[in-house]
């Protein structure tokens, strides 16, 4: 027997959650050919894995890399974490479908979230064309796509702040059907982001029903993760129940200190819904800070009509005063639907063309410039046309552990990779972009013993694969795709910090994507072997 690659002598953790065992793993082309305690055949290449863990390649259940691949197909920040598959099209954002003439609206809309969009020419309209464009650039990881509800809404009815009419819903259903036919796994909402937030529950139920026969999954960034947390999870459950589809609650959390105690009730809601037959699950990232676009701090009404209209409102003194009156608390904190009440010292600039403010909090910028923090916020949005990203510290560390350990929850980085003309190491992105998976293995499995290494691996392999109904990924099994990550259980560690986020993790020497050794000796090797996955 001759194999293309033999990984010899490691501890195999197969992704099911079963205990690790000593075994060799043989690959032939893009498939796993054999797994047994000691394989004796010939191999073109041998990797010595003594003392190392051999697992399935990690699956990032929630990522915003969509447009990043076009700027940076090697996706090094991901692959070097051991990730071989990413799920994108999250939180209502996807780069397709795109109606002609709306390229600028979509570019401005997604600007703060995927920096790459600013410079990118969006050369597709249908979801199928977009997937073909992505496949043609050969990203280093496999990519599973969802279609964003915001993209569906913009394409069907523009950026309007109103419930969808029957005709609008019909148009969205048609676009969703096209995306599902082309290879989407379902759709995602971002009910704190305009224009997704303008939808009533009935619109989302209709869309869920429309993808029921195709077995679509609904990924929900819920309507509020702060004061509205429990009602918002209840809404997601209703959509799953009445739409007849599974629901994945994105980045499960309670934002704002006053809401932290609600996390137990939120997790119980998922359990109770499951007990009566609604397919509810969730994902989480292992940090107590979040990250999104800075304009997410603006009230929904102020964003109606798109970024252009928001900028007009921010330029108008009276409207600006109304926004401040609504959101400002005691002059020190800012209240928004997405973040709850957050201090200006808890909001940090992640990315901005004005480089000198990256890494600073709104409070720090205010002190330096002598401008009130609320004005710093609104001035930045206005001057940068909303292409500003932020990192916000509004969550509890204890809650993060509680959610991570929950049996219905898998790992999703929610990473927002930043890219500028200077290259991929731009700004101060949330360290989850570089550290999520090693951090779960190091901090939560090895150090805190929150769960076993096998459970940690399951939450980033077999569990998301089953969620997506991937038939041949997420486990180390004969006949499965040859996506393999080899790591050192004693040394694996995230190195990225908030102050120094562009740091690759340690202790992950080999990553194999579809049989191609993509990371070797901890360094990137080409070529990109990822594929566009279809359900
Ligand atoms: Zn989200």
CA of 338 to the centre of ligand 1 (A): 10
CA of 259 to the centre of ligand 1 (A): 18
- Whether the link from the prior residue into 53 is cis, omega within 30° of 0, is no
CA of 37 to the centre of ligand 1 (A): 43
CA of 66 to the centre of ligand 1 (A): 14
Helix axes 362-369, 373-383, angle to 10 degrees: 100
What per-residue confidence (pLDDT) applies to 123? Answer: 84
Which neighbouring-strand residues pair with 231? none
Q: Strands 21-28, 328-329: parallel, antiparallel or unpaired by DSSP?
A: unpaired
What per-residue confidence (pLDDT) applies to 104? Answer: 80
CA of 528 to the centre of ligand 1 (A): 27
Whether the Cβ atoms of residue 94 and residue 147 lie closer than 8 Å to each other: yes
Q: In degrees, to the nearest 5, what angle opens at C-alpha 502 toward C-alphas 498 and 506? A: 100
CA of 32 to the centre of ligand 1 (A): 34
Alpha-carbon distances, residue 492 vs 23, 230, 393, 437 (angstroms) = 20, 36, 26, 10
What per-residue confidence (pLDDT) applies to 151? Answer: 95
CA of 90 to the centre of ligand 1 (A): 7
pLDDT digit string, tens, across residues 374-406: 999 999 999 998 889 899 998 999 999 999 999
- Is the sign of the CA dihedral 505, 361, 293, 91 positive or negative? positive
Q: Work out the average pLDDT over 30-54.
A: 95
Tokens 């959509």: give the residue. Answer: 239
Q: How confident is the model at residue 422 (pLDDT cuts 50, 70, 90)?
A: low
- Is the sign of the CA dihedral 52, 58, 64, 66 positive or negative? positive
- Is 80 exceeded by the pLDDT of residue 116? no
- Provide the token pair at 238: 């209703």
Measure the N-to-C terminal CA separation of the chain; round to a whole number of Å.
33
Whether the Cβ atoms of residue 60 and residue 85 lie closer than 8 Å to each other: yes
> Count of residues for the chain?
535
CA of 251 to the centre of ligand 1 (A): 7
What per-residue confidence (pLDDT) applies to 3? Answer: 96
Q: In what order do the strands lie in the sheet with 83-88?
A: 58-60, 83-88, 142-145, 532-533
Q: Of 487, 484, 482, nearest to 508 (Cα)?
A: 487
CA of 443 to the centre of ligand 1 (A): 24
What per-residue confidence (pLDDT) applies to 25? Answer: 98
CA of 51 to the centre of ligand 1 (A): 38
Which neighbouring-strand residues pair with 24? 36
pLDDT digit string, tens, across residues 424-456: 778 888 999 999 999 999 999 999 999 999 999
pLDDT digit string, tens, across residues 479-521: 999 999 999 999 999 999 999 999 999 999 999 999 999 999 9
Q: How confident is the model at residue 119 (pLDDT cuts 50, 70, 90)?
A: low
CA of 190 to the centre of ligand 1 (A): 6
- Provide the token pair at 124: 């597709």
What per-residue confidence (pLDDT) applies to 22? Answer: 98
What per-residue confidence (pLDDT) applies to 305? Answer: 86
pLDDT digit string, tens, across residues 278-320: 999 999 999 999 998 899 999 989 998 888 999 999 999 999 9
- Is 90 exceeded by the pLDDT of residue 47? yes
Q: For residue 130, is it left (φ>0), alpha (ψ between -120 and 50) or beta?
A: alpha
% of the chain at pLDDT higher than 90: 82
- Provide the token pair at 438: 């090693």
Q: Work out the average pLDDT over 252-266.
A: 95
Which of residues 338 and 44 earns the better pLDDT score? 44
Q: Which element (helix H / strand E) includes 512?
A: strand 510-513
CA of 531 to the centre of ligand 1 (A): 24
Q: What is the CA radius of gyration of the chain?
A: 22
CA of 433 to the centre of ligand 1 (A): 14
- Provide the token pair at 98: 């795109």
Distance CA 399, CA 254 (A): 8
- Is the sign of the CA dihedral 258, 264, 267, 268 positive or negative? negative
pTM of the model as a whole: 0.95
Q: Strands 328-329, 333-336: parallel, antiparallel or unpaired by DSSP?
A: antiparallel
- Is 80 exceeded by the pLDDT of residue 421? no
Mean pLDDT of the chain: 94
Q: Work out the average pLDDT over 367-379.
A: 96
CA of 398 to the centre of ligand 1 (A): 21
Whether the Cβ atoms of residue 190 and residue 93 lie closer than 8 Å to each other: yes
How many Cα atoms within 13 Å fall on the side-chain side of residue 388?
31
Q: Strands 217-221, 186-190: parallel, antiparallel or unpaired by DSSP?
A: parallel
CA of 171 to the centre of ligand 1 (A): 24
% of the chain at pLDDT higher than 70: 97
Q: In degrees, to the nearest 5, what angle opens at C-alpha 399 toward C-alphas 395 and 403? A: 120
Q: Of 431, 298, 388, nearest to 108 (Cα)?
A: 388
Distance CA 486, CA 165 (A): 52
- Is 70 exceeded by the pLDDT of residue 115? no
What per-residue confidence (pLDDT) applies to 197? Answer: 94
- Provide the token pair at 219: 């990924």
Task: Please state the separation of Cα 45 from the chain's center in Å.
Answer: 34
How many Cα atoms within 13 Å fall on the side-chain side of residue 209?
11
CA of 123 to the centre of ligand 1 (A): 25
What per-residue confidence (pLDDT) applies to 41? Answer: 83
Point out the least confidently predicted range of 27-36, 184-193, 288-297, 452-461: 288-297
- Where are any strands of DSSP class E within 371-428? 389-392, 409-411
CA of 62 to the centre of ligand 1 (A): 9
CA of 211 to the centre of ligand 1 (A): 21
Whether the Cβ atoms of residue 283 and residue 250 lie closer than 8 Å to each other: yes
């Amino acid at each position: 027997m001759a194999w293309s690659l033999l990984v010899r002598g490691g501890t195999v953790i197969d992704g099911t959650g079963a205990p690790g065992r000593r075994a060799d793993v043989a690959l032939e082309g893009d498939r796993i050919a054999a797994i047994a305690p000691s394989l004796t055949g010939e191999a073109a290449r041998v990797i010595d894995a003594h003392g190392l863990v051999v697992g399935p390649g990690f699956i990032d259940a929630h990522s915003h890399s969509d447009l990043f691949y076009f700027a940076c197909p090697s996706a090094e920040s991901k692959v070097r974490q051991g990730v071989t598959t990413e799920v994108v099209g999250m939180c209502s954002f996807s780069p397709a479908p795109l109606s002609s003439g709306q390229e600028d609206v979509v570019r401005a809309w997604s600007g703060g979230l995927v920096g790459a969009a600013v410079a990118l020419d969006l050369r597709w309209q249908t979801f199928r064309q977009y997937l073909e464009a992505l496949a043609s650039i050969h990203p280093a990881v496999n990519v599973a796509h969802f279609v964003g509800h915001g993209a569906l809404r913009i394409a069907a009815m523009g950026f309007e702040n109103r419930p969808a009419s029957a005709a609008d819903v019909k148009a969205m259903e048609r676009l969703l059907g096209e995306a599902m036919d082309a290879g989407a796994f379902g759709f995602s909402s971002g009910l704190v982001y305009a224009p997704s937030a303008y939808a009533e529950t009935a619109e989302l139920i209709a869309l869920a029903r429309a993808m029921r026969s195709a077995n679509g999954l609904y990924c929900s960034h819920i309507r509020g993760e702060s004061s509205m947390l429990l009602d918002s999870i209840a809404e997601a459950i209703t959509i799953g129940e009445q739409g007849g589809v599974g629901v994945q609650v994105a980045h499960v959390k309670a934002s704002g200190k006053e809401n932290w105690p609600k996390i137990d009730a939120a997790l119980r809601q998922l359990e109770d819904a499951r007990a009566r037959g609604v397919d509810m699950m969730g994902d989480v990232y292992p940090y107590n800070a979040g990250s999104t676009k800075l304009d997410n701090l603006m009230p929904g009404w102020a964003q109606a009509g798109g970024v252009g209209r928001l900028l007009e409102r921010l330029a108008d003194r009276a409207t600006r005063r109304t926004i401040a009156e609504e959101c400002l608390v005691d002059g020190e904190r800012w209240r928004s639907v997405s973040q709850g009440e957050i201090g200006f010292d808890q909001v940090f600039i992640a990315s901005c063309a004005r480089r000198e403010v990256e890494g600073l909090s709104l409070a720090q910028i205010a002190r330096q410039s002598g401008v009130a923090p609320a004005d710093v916020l609104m001035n930045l949005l206005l001057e940068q046309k909303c292409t500003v990203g932020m990192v916000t510290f509004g969550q509890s560390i204890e809650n993060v552990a509680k959610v991570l350990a929950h049996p219905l929850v898998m790992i999703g980085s929610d990473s927002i990779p930043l890219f500028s003309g200077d290259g991929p190491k731009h700004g101060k992105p949330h360290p989850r972009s570089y550290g999520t998976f090693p951090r779960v293995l190091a901090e939560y499995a090895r150090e805190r013993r929150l769960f076993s290494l096998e459970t940690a691996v399951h939450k980033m392999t077999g569990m998301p694969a089953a969620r997506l109904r991937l038939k041949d990924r997420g486990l180390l099994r004969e006949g499965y795709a040859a996506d393999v990550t080899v790591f050192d259980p004693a040394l694996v560690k995230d190195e990225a910090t908030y102050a120094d986020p562009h740091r690759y993790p340690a202790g992950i020497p080999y990553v194999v994507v579809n049989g191609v050794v993509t990371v070797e000796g901890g360094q990137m090797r080409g070529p990109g072997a990822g594929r566009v996955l279809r359900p």
